[in-house]
Amino acid sequence: MEQIISSDFKLGILGGGQLGKMLTLAASNWDVNTYVLDPSDSCPSAPTCTKLVVGDFNCFSTVYDFGKNLDMITIEIENVNLDALIKLKSEGKKVYPCPKKLAIIKDKGLQKEFYEKNGFPTSKFQLFESENEIKDLVKSGAISLPFVQKLRKEGYDGKGVKIVKSQDDLNDLLVGKSLIEDKVEVYKELSVIVARSVNGEIKCFPLVEMEFNPTANLVEFLICPANVADSVEKKAEKLAIDLVEALEYEGILAVEMFLDKDDNILINEVAPRTHNSGHHTIESIFTSQYEQQLRAIFGFPLGSTELKIPSIMINVLGEPNYEGKVLYSGLMKCMEVDGAKFHIYGKKITKPYRKMGHITILDKDINKAREKAEFIKENLKVIA
């Protein structure tokens, strides 16, 4: 096998946001060279990668030129130019995950069709070319409220998703190709991060439970391990494993699920990369999702996903009414909290609800972790 560690091996990463940053830090532990492509020269990965290439990861020639001198290419964001990745792969470059699988996942319509075709539980859905088709069908009575509209492409962090409850909501449907799906009565939102290595080895991280902030539609608390019955955890894990196998997927896949009151699980959607719901793995689990991604795509044995210490992860979001040069207010007080691990991504400009960092609170007693998380949530403010 070629030597990847402490060598001239070059790993390319499309995207230099916080997920890219944490991946480069994991690579640094093994002395692996990372080349990052991002439109911003001050992206979070800029100071941590071996070399930053400034450019648009949606541009065919930029991605192709970036990749052709590297040994392997992976992603930290799925909205990238797939044609360039397909061409690179056809020329023998190692590209993980496979761009054809990315094509299925980054189009939520194709994703839902894949679930349906392969017998994976997901909410009922219909695909539409435009928002007007939806309006017409509501008018004709063929569709009834409420439902959830999702753009087929480029949604993230709650963007590209709309809950349609009233006639008023119909006036500002999302514009473009979309799908609508049944609004599920959600008891809990769950996430399983699963890794499948290029050798076919599979390991799941412990199930996590996500509590959303209803205003920002962003995760507020992420709790690991999830407070659900063992049978639910086993069922969720099996779903995630069956899914990566059905996809013949290589790398980290984040599988977001809905749990209802009767312990039924539906797949909500997946992300073909490391994920916000796996940040806590850095300190809470034996192997982080970032190290696991490297192990999976390098063909190394997957690392242990055993729990070290229970944790609650909170995102550090820009306050609603501030935009400008970032200031962290209340930081000292929060740094006193035992077991709070601070991750500041390095975005110099804060915006409302922008993800500026995250904090993982470790505590053997998950109730105490929760109290600490609430304290930090109240006291740490990202202002300008």
Region near its own copies per CB under 8 A, out of 65-73, 121-129, 346-354, 373-381:
346-354
Q: Verify binding: residue 196, its own copies, rule CB under 8 A.
A: no
Mapped onto helix, strand or coil, the DSSP state of residue 265 is strand
CA 344 vs CA 17, 27, 77, 309, 338: distances in Å: 12, 18, 19, 22, 18
Q: Verify binding: residue 50, its own copies, rule CB under 8 A.
A: yes
Q: How far apart are CA 178 and CA 197, in angstroms?
A: 32
Is 181 annotated as a binding-site member? yes
Q: How far apart are CA 116 and CA 108, in angstroms?
A: 12
Half-sphere exposure of 171 (CA within 13 A, CB side): 3
Half-sphere exposure of 379 (CA within 13 A, CB side): 15
Give the phi and the psi of residue 381 in degrees, each rounded to 5.
Answer: -125, 135
Is 269 annotated as a binding-site member? yes
Q: Verify binding: residue 156, its own copies, rule CB under 8 A.
A: no
Distance from chain centroid for Cα 53: 23
Residues 294-333 that bind its own copies (CB under 8 A): 295, 300-301, 303-304, 306, 308-309, 326-328, 331-332
Half-sphere exposure of 316 (CA within 13 A, CB side): 31
Q: How many CB atoms lie within 10 A of CB 223?
A: 21
Count of residues in contact with its own copies, rule CB under 8 A: 42
| Nearest distance from C-beta of residue 365 to its own copies, angstroms | 12
Q: Verify binding: residue 227, its own copies, rule CB under 8 A.
A: no
Q: Verify binding: residue 114, its own copies, rule CB under 8 A.
A: no
Q: Verify binding: residue 205, its own copies, rule CB under 8 A.
A: no
Q: Verify binding: residue 3, its own copies, rule CB under 8 A.
A: yes
Nearer to its own copies, 7 or 90 (CB): 7
- Report DSSP state, residue 365: S
Let me know: does 15 contact 80? Beta carbons within 8 Å: yes
Is 184 annotated as a binding-site member? yes
Q: Please pick, from the candidates 217, 346, 366, 375, the single residue that binds its own copies as defined by CB under 8 A.
A: 346
Binding residues: 108, 150, 181-184, 189, 268-269
Residues that bind its own copies (CB under 8 A): 1, 3, 5-6, 21, 25, 28-31, 33, 44, 47-48, 50, 286, 295, 300-301, 303-304, 306, 308-309, 326-328, 331-332, 335-336, 338-339, 341-348, 362
